[in-house]
């Protein structure tokens, strides 16, 4: 009973690993489904969501908060899936989007650049130079995205619980190692973990409801008591309070709602 | 059987995992305890041998010549022990120089960052924020050291078969994952992988013997054939090649020595100036 996120570069065999783990453990395997759900629920074209989660923010994006809003929608859709438990997610940024859930086994699957180039050449029928250039560009885009939005380097191994190098170790070995690791104590879904998942789900739902209109807000929930932190003047905080009441009125599982004005958003908020 | 090479961003944590792996597999633990033997064999004081494995020696302290000899001596001792098989090697930078050996399982252990910050704060008697900055500085120095000395970034995960972070996984669980992984058939030694290790051991032995006279040699071995690459002036090329052949030929296990020299353009420019 756990959640596994697989982070991967293009042609790193991460997708194959994820699908095999899901089949081996009898888990649900999700990736693009999350974007489709978010697109359907929030009426945003899927392409815009893909760009929000894939492309590094441009200068203009940094002044608008649409990218942040799209990420809030994607996170909400992802949390709805993982709340069911027993899930393998191999879409983009799972390890960052599910940061607030404790029993997530965060895995990165890597492969040598030469192997990746060969795979891309074969599939796309392009030259070695073109394949290499595309892969490096894609990797750089990922790095910039995580750096701009989360202030971390996607290549930093400490962001993950396990990094498996598929080279000497095969896809089947990686499947065995990850399936074995996820059975270990820290990744079991306990009663406390389930409560945290419920709280994280509430926070993500409210954040998605606020994200379209407000960018300087952070949300967290403790046992159904939802706390909203807003950074702005009194008028701004009043507007956030009104909207938060409206959104939580339609949500189930919320006991209390508090809205606080702050100078700096706390680190543990969504 | 196989060999396990473990590296870590925190010495004590990595060592504790290496110890647990050694106990669980029944393998010998090869760690910095061998530095005493290395010191007496190389006649370099033990503190200097230890210093060669630490970042500070890349910029300050003793000369590059002594550092290179100290590192080659460590490599020689490590390679010789690894040939015995069934070894867990830790704290001797083996992940940076044992390359192309298929029965070597390479693992990096990452200690929880907050734990490292708190340990640093206690050790240096500083606040948490100051400790965090010191830790970042130390990490950058360690990365520079591995690039400077071995030309490889030891934080690069593709250098390893697996990286395990101890943020959620307990050290004993990490040890179990390693023990399970090393039992895979691909980590069993084969005639070819043992030959690769033997070749590397011989090349480092030859390099060590040549280093007493020549510091600019690069040695590779294939069976009993040794290839030495060095720089030299045109006028001393023949004499240097003969001397290298004579020195290397005395090493047990060497039957043929090939010497490749390239023009030492810097010395030539200095002499013609």
Q: What is the mean pLDDT of chain B?
A: 90
Question: Is the confidence at residue B61, as pLDDT, over 60?
Answer: no
**CB-CB contact of A47 with A70 (8 Å):** no
What angle, rounded to 10 degrees, do the helices at A128-150 and A113-124 form?
120
Position B58 scores a pLDDT of 46
Burial category of A30 from C-beta neighbours within 10 Å (exposed 0-12, middle 13-18, buried 19 and up): buried
Q: Å from B130 to nearest chain A CA?
A: 19
Using a CB–CB cutoff of 8 Å, tell me whether A206 touches chain B: no
pLDDT of residue B65: 81
CA B110 – CA B127 distance, rounded (Å):
23
Best of B7, B159, B161 to disrupt the A interface by mutation (most A CBs within 10 Å)? B161
State pLDDT tens for residues B90-102.
999 999 999 989 9
Residue A1 is predicted with a pLDDT of 65
Q: For the sheet containing A217-222, what is the strand order?
A: A217-222, A225-230, A256-261
Q: Do A157 and B163 touch (CB under 8 A)?
A: yes
> What is the distance in angstroms between the CA of the first residue and the CA of the last residue of chain A?
24
Which residues in chain B are closer than 8 Å to A181, comparing Cβ atoms?
169, 173, 177
Q: Which of residues 66-95 of A touch B (CB under 8 A)?
A: none
By the 10 Å C-beta count (0-12 exposed, 13-18 middle, 19+ buried), A14 is classed as buried
- How far off is chain A from B228, nearest CA to CA, in Å? 29
Mean pLDDT of A242-254: 89
Contact B64, B149 (CB under 8 A): no
Residue A270 · residue A239 · CB < 8 Å: no
The hierarchical CATH code for the domain A191-261 is: 3.30.70
Q: Which residues of A touch B161 (CB under 8 A)?
A: 164-165, 167-169
Residues B47, B53, B54, B59, CA torsion sign: positive
pLDDT value of position A31: 85
| Chain A contact probe: residue of B104, B114, B162 with most A CBs at under 10 A | B162
Segment A138-147 shows an average pLDDT of: 83
Query: Average pLDDT over chain A, rounded to whole?
Result: 86
Q: Please tell me which residue of chain A has the smallest CA distance to B174.
A: A181
The dihedral through the CA atoms of B117, B123, B127, B131 has a sign that is negative
Q: Go through B88-98 and write b for each residue having 16 or more CB atoms within 10 A of its CB, e for each that does not.
A: bbbbbbbbbbb
Chain A residues with CB under 8 Å of B177 CB are 177, 180-181
B157–A155 CB contact, under 8 Å:
yes
User: Which pLDDT belongs to residue A211?
Assistant: 86
The pLDDT score that the predictor gives to residue A38 is: 83
Which of B113, B164, B180 faces A180 most closely, judged by CB atoms? B180
Least confident of A184-188, B55-59, B86-90, B100-104: B55-59
Q: Is the ipTM of this complex over 0.90?
A: no
A235 touches B: beta carbon within 8 Å: no
The beta-carbon neighbor of B169 closest among A158, A161, A167 is A161
3-class state of residue A116 by DSSP: helix
Strand ordering across the sheet containing A3-8: A28-30, A87-89, A3-8, A104-110, A162-165, B162-165, B104-110, B3-8, B87-90, B28-30
What residues in A contact B173, CB-CB < 8 Å? 181, 184-186
B163 reaches A (C-beta below 8 A): yes
Assess whether the region A3-187 and the region A191-261 belong to the same CATH fold: no
* pLDDT band (50, 70, 90) for residue A152: confident
Would you call A157 and B180 a contact, using CB atoms and an 8 Å cutoff? no
pLDDT score at A223: 93
CA distance B157 to chain A (A): 7
The alpha carbon of residue A68 is apart from the nearest alpha carbon of chain B, in Å, by 27
Q: Which residues of A touch B181 (CB under 8 A)?
A: 169, 173, 177
Q: Does B160 contact chain A (CB < 8 Å)? A: yes
Q: Which of B161, B167, B170 sits opposite A169 (nearest CB)?
A: B161
For chain A, the structural domain boundaries read 3-187, 191-261
Please answer yes or no on whether A162 and B168 come within 8 Å at the CB atom.
no
Contact A75, A97 (CB under 8 A): yes
Q: Write the pLDDT tens digit of every residue in B24-39.
A: 999 999 999 999 999 9
Reported as a single tens digit per residue, the pLDDT across B156-174 is: 999 999 999 998 899 999 9
Interface check for A186 against chain B (CB to CB < 8 A): the answer is yes
Nearest CB among A112, A161, A170 relative to B158 is that of A112
pLDDT tens profile B92-139: 999 999 998 999 999 999 998 889 999 999 988 999 999 999 999 999
Q: Which two tokens stand for residue B48?
A: 């200097």
Distances in whole angstroms, Cα of residue B266 to Cα of each of A34, B148, B262, B272: 61, 21, 12, 10
A102 neighbourhood in chain B, CB within 8 Å: 168
- Sort out which chain A residues have CB atoms less than 8 A from B115's CB and list them: none
- A-chain residues within 8 Å CB-CB of B170? 185-186
Cβ atoms of B35 and B48 within 8 Å: the answer is: no
- Segment B175-198 shows an average pLDDT of 92
Query: Under CATH, which number does the domain A3-187 receive?
Result: 3.40.50.300
Report whether pLDDT(A213) > 80: yes
Provide the number of CB pairs (under 8 Å) joining chain A to chain B.
Answer: 73
Give A47-97 as a 3 state SS string: HHHHHHHHCCCCHHHHHCCHHHHHHHHHHHHHHHHHCCCCEEECCCCHHHH
Q: How confident is the model at residue B57 (pLDDT cuts 50, 70, 90)?
A: very low
A4-61, pLDDT tens digit by residue?
A: 999 888 888 889 999 999 999 999 898 888 888 888 888 888 888 877 777 666 655 5
Decide if A161 and B167 are in contact by the 8 Å CB cutoff: yes
pLDDT in tens, A47-101: 888 777 776 666 555 555 577 888 888 888 888 888 878 899 988 788 888 887 8
Asked which of A177-191, A194-208, B181-195 is least confident by mean pLDDT, the reply is A177-191
Instruction: Give the closest of B110, B113, B169 to A184, CB-based.
Output: B169
pLDDT computed for residue A164 by the predictor: 95
**pLDDT above 90 coverage of chain A, percent:** 31
Q: How far apart are CA B211 and CA B203, in angstroms?
A: 12
């Amino acid at each position: 009973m756990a959640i596994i996120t697989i982070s991967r570069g293009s042609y790193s065999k991460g997708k194959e690993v994820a699908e095999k783990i899901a089949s081996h453990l009898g888990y649900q395997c999700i990736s693009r489904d999350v974007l489709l759900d978010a697109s359907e629920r929030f009426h945003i074209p899927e392409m815009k969501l893909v760009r929000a989660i894939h492309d590094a923010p441009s200068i203009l994006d940094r002044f608008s908060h649409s990218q942040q809003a799209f990420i809030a929608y994607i996170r909400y859709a992802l949390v709805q899936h993982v709340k069911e438990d027993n899930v393998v997610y191999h879409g983009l940024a799972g390890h960052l989007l599910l940061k607030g859930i404790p029993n997530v086994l965060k895995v990165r699957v890597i492969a040598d650049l030469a192997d990746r180039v060969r795979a891309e050449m074969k599939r796309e029928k392009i030259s070695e130079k073109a394949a290499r250039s595309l892969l490096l560009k894609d990797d750089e885009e990922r790095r910039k995205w995580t750096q701009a939005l989360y202030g971390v380097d996607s290549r930093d191994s400490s962001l993950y619980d396990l990094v498996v190098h598929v080279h000497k170790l095969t896809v089947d070995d990686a499947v065995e190692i990850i399936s074995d690791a996820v059975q270990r104590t820290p990744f079991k879904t306990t009663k406390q973990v389930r409560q945290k998942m419920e709280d994280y789900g509430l926070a993500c739902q409210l954040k998605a409801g606020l994200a379209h209109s407000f960018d300087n807000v952070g949300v967290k929930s403790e046992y159904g008591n939802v706390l909203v932190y807003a950074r702005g003047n009194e008028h701004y905080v009043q507007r956030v309070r009104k909207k938060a009441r409206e959104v939580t009125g339609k949500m189930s599982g919320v006991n209390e709602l508090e809205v606080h004005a702050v100078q700096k958003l706390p680190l543990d908020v969504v | 059987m196989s060999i396990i090479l473990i590296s870590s961003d925190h010495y004590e944590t990595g060592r504790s995992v290496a110890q647990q792996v050694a106990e669980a597999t029944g393998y010998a633990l090869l760690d910095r305890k061998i530095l005493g033997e290395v010191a007496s064999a190389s006649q370099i004081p033990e503190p200097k041998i230890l210093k060669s494995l630490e970042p500070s020696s890349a910029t300050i302290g003793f000369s590059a010549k002594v550092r290179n000899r100290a590192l080659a001596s460590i490599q020689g001792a490590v390679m010789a022990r690894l040939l015995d098989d069934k070894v867990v090697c830790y704290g001797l930078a083996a992940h940076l120089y044992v390359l192309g050996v298929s029965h070597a399982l390479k693992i990096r252990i990452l200690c929880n960052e907050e734990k490292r910050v708190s340990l640093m704060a206690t050790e240096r008697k500083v606040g948490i924020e100051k400790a965090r900055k010191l830790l970042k500085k130390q990490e950058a120095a360690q990365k520079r050291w591995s690039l400077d000395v071995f030309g490889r970034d030891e934080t690069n995960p593709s250098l390893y078969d697996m990286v395990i972070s101890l943020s959620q996984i307990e050290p004993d669980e990490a040890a179990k994952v390693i023990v399970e992984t090393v039992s895979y058939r691909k980590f069993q030694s084969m005639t070819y992988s043992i030959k690769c290790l033997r070749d590397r051991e011989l090349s480092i032995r030859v390099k060590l013997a040549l280093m007493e006279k020549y510091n600019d040699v690069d040695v590779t071995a294939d069976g009993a054939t040794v290839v030495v690459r060095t720089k030299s002036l045109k006028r001393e090329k023949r004499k240097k090649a003969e001397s290298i052949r004579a020195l290397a030929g005395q090493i047990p296990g060497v039957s043929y020595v090939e010497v490749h020299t390239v023009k030492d353009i810097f010395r030539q420019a200095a002499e013609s100036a």
